């Protein structure tokens, strides 16, 4: 449904500011590798700020996957059929897997998973704004697959070419799985929009609530995006927040038309001159309120996460005890 194409020309398509390369020989070698489309691996020399930027982004991304299990997880016991329930369980498990690949990738940058978890649980670490909105109806589960996974793929396909090897490789598998998630969401929306009048109304009501928060998922406008310039120079970020948002809108409007749903934006209009859709203003004050902890479900999500972690302590203890026992047995056998 979305192109898997990764051929964007940064010179012409990426408006984010370029930062000039300076510094010591190792820094120049590092930037030359990045400029030549080489990969930086965990044991390679890297600027401390590059390491920190990746750690910030990858850990935020991992936290988003893990917190992102809650809004859909709420509906596993209420899915409308056995088939939908089985699909939803598989999807939510996939999100847990994505979190695990990403925590592993982040650990290669020198921070332990326990430290990352502590940052999440104390509220110091960010995760995607979108998971602070409630899933009030079954249509919201379809909407998360169709729009949230759709936006996630749009953002993550360029990350498959990120300069940091472990992150880029993790993204390839994640994107394949997200494509399935997006299709299952669209399939739910198709069933609802071709169903009874009540089901179609439920689908429309859900789109009305999710459309604007999904557009904000791509991050602040380029002019306010503090990290974009440096991340573009390091080829962590290949396509800017605004460009990705526009690509997403252009791809999604025809899908909404096919579903017979109305996008809640009076200003949405095809612009023949630009070859893109024009759209209305995004409420960035609302976005920052949500990012800063005041969204409809921030407190609930964090509390659920901390509870799950505390209740899972016995599993981690048992796994550690087993690992110690197994190692001792191996030593004894080798002796
Ligand atoms: N929510 O300067 P920029 C998914 C923060 S995965 C919260 O533009 P950057 C799968 C940003 O962190 C969804 N905070 O930052 C799934 C920074 O704050 P900081 C997650 C946001 O990093 C589907 C500040 O604003 N995907 O959905 C958001 O260059 C279904 C300034 O922003 C990723 O994490 C936001 N939406 O660009 C799971 C992808 N946007 O750190 C379950 C990887 C911005 O200085 C169910 N990440 N901020 O305190 C990225 O591509 C980038 O980090 C961006 C932000 C594009 C998100």
- Token pair, residue 234, equals 């390091």
DSSP per position, 184-199: HHHHHHHHHHTS-HHH
Hey, whose CA ends up nearest to atom 48 of ligand 1?
Answer: 219
Contact 268, 278 (CB under 8 A): yes
Give the pLDDT mean for 251-261.
Answer: 98
Using alpha carbons, list the distances in angstroms from residue 100 to 38, 104, 181.
Answer: 25, 6, 18
Give the other-Cβ count within 10 Å of 168's Cβ. 18
Nearest atom in ligand 1 to the alpha carbon of residue 216 is 36
Contact 76, 96 (CB under 8 A): no
Using alpha carbons, list the distances in angstroms from residue 229 to 118, 199, 225.
Answer: 29, 45, 8
The best mutation among 128, 224, 247 to test binding of ligand 1, ranked by most ligand atoms within 8 Å of the C-beta, falls on: 128
pLDDT band at 5 (very low <50, low <70, confident <90, very high): very low
- Residue 306 CA to residue 300 CA, distance in Å, equals 10
Distance 150 CA to ligand 1 centre (A): 15
Per DSSP, what are the bridge partners of residue 271? Answer: 276
3-state secondary structure of 261: coil
Residues with CB under 6 A from ligand 1: 56-57, 60-61, 64-65, 68, 95, 126, 128-129, 144, 148-149, 152, 155, 217-220, 225-228, 231, 237, 241, 291
Give the pLDDT mean for 148-176.
Answer: 96
pLDDT tens digits for 82-117?
999 999 999 999 999 999 999 999 999 999 999 999
Give the pLDDT mean for 143-150.
Answer: 98
First vs last C-alpha separation in the chain = 58
Contact 145, 181 (CB under 8 A): yes
- What percentage of the chain carries pLDDT values higher than 70? 93
Hey, whose CA ends up nearest to atom 52 of ligand 1?
Answer: 57
What is the dihedral sign for C-alpha 243, 177, 73, 82?
positive
Q: In b/e form, how buried is each residue of 281-315, taking b as 16+ CB within 10 angstroms? A: ebeeeebeebbeeebebbeebbebbeeeeeeeeee
Residue 335: predicted pLDDT:
81
Distance 128 CA to ligand 1 centre (A): 6
Residue 22: predicted pLDDT:
59
pLDDT tens digits for 293-313?
999 999 999 999 999 999 999
Please choose, from the candidates 74, 190, 78, 195, the residue with its C-alpha nearest in 3D space to the C-alpha of residue 143: 190
Whether pLDDT at 243 is above 50: yes
Hey, whose CA ends up nearest to atom 41 of ligand 1?
Answer: 56
Hey, whose CA ends up nearest to atom 37 of ligand 1?
Answer: 219
Contact 134, 296 (CB under 8 A): yes
Hey, whose CA ends up nearest to atom 51 of ligand 1?
Answer: 155
- Residue 289 CA to residue 14 CA, distance in Å, equals 28
Give the pLDDT mean for 169-187.
Answer: 95
Distance 55 CA to ligand 1 centre (A): 13
Using alpha carbons, list the distances in angstroms from residue 179 to 50, 152, 276, 310.
Answer: 29, 10, 23, 33
Hey, whose CA ends up nearest to atom 4 of ligand 1?
Answer: 152
Whether pLDDT at 51 is above 80: yes
Nearest atom in ligand 1 to the alpha carbon of residue 241 is 56
Hey, whose CA ends up nearest to atom 8 of ligand 1?
Answer: 225
Whether pLDDT at 13 is above 60: no
The per-residue pLDDT of the chain, averaged, comes to: 93
Hey, whose CA ends up nearest to atom 54 of ligand 1?
Answer: 219
Give the pLDDT mean for 268-281.
Answer: 98
Query: Which element (helix H / strand E) includes 278?
Result: strand 276-278
Give the pLDDT mean for 168-191.
Answer: 96
């Amino acid at each position: 449904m979305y192109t898997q194409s990764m051929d964007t020309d940064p010179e012409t398509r990426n408006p984010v500011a370029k930062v000039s390369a300076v510094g010591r020989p190792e820094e120049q070698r590092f930037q030359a590798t990045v400029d030549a489309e080489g990969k930086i691996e965990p044991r390679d020399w890297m600027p401390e700020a590059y390491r920190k930027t990746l750690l910030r982004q990858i850990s935020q991304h991992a936290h988003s996957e893990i917190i992102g299990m809650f809004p859909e997880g709420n509906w596993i016991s209420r899915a409308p059929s056995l088939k939908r329930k089985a699909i939803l369980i598989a999807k939510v498990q996939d999100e847990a897997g994505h979190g695990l690949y990403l925590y592993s990738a982040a650990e290669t940058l020198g921070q332990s998973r326990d430290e990352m978890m502590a940052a999440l649980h104390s509220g110091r670490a960010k995760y995607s704004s979108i998971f602070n909105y409630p899933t009030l109806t079954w249509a919201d589960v379809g909407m998360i697959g169709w729009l949230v996974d759709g936006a996630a793929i749009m953002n993550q396909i360029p990350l498959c070419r990120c300069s940091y090897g472990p992150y880029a490789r993790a993204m390839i598998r994640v994107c394949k799985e997200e494509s399935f998630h997006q299709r299952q969401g669209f399939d739910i929306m198709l069933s609802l929009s071709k169903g009874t009048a009540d089901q179609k109304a439920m689908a429309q009501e859900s789109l009305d609530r999710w459309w604007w928060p999904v557009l904000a998922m791509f991050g602040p406008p380029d002019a306010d995006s503090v990290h974009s310039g440096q991340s573009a120079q390091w080829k962590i970020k290949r396509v800017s927040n605004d460009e990705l948002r526009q690509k997403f809108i252009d791809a999604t409007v025809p899908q909404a038309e096919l579903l017979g749903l109305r996008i809640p934006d009076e200003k949405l209009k095809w612009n023949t001159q630009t070859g893109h859709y024009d759209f209305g203003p995004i409420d960035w004050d609302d976005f920052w309120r949500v990012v800063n902890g005041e969204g409809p479900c921030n407190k609930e999500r964090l509390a659920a996460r901390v509870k799950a972690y505390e209740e899972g302590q016995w599993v981690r203890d048992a796994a550690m005890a087993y690992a110690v026992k197994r190692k001792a047995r191996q030593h004894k056998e080798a002796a």
